[in-house]
Amino acid sequence: MTDWLRWALLPAATVHIFEEFVFPGGFPAWYRTYRAAPTRITPRFLVIVNLALVIVCLNVGLVGRDPAGVLFWLAISALLCANGLWHGWASYKSRGYSPGVITGLMIYVPLAVYGYVKVLGFR
């Protein structure tokens, strides 16, 4: 695994969080409308989850290229890829923009696919 790849999850997650909450933002309000039911997603919960994500992505880069670091990268990139696909599905189902769909589909998914191909040696 190259050095840039092991660190790539951190800026990817940061840009995704920016899209969800800053520009264009609006994820909490969109999610409440999408779920069409009371939700337990509070601002505190969103801060904790996203802060934990940033810390995890930082740790992925710090762990490095040893086997544990590679497995850590594969696990977290799969999680981010699933999040990107969820945003795509939610946009399709809601027939509208899900804050996070652009970075989810254009960064998370290709990054995970590229990383899995690179790490596992598929050709």
Residues 98 and 47: their CA atoms lie apart, in Å, by 18
Question: What pLDDT, on a 0 to 100 scale, did the predictor assign at position 2?
Answer: 85
* pTM, full prediction: 0.94
Question: What pLDDT, on a 0 to 100 scale, did the predictor assign at position 40?
Answer: 81
Question: What pLDDT, on a 0 to 100 scale, did the predictor assign at position 123?
Answer: 63
Residues 112 and 73: their CA atoms lie apart, in Å, by 9
Question: What pLDDT, on a 0 to 100 scale, did the predictor assign at position 54?
Answer: 98
> Which stretches in the chain have pLDDT values below 70?
123
Domain segments of the chain as ranges: 3-120
Question: What pLDDT, on a 0 to 100 scale, did the predictor assign at position 122?
Answer: 76
Question: What pLDDT, on a 0 to 100 scale, did the predictor assign at position 50?
Answer: 98
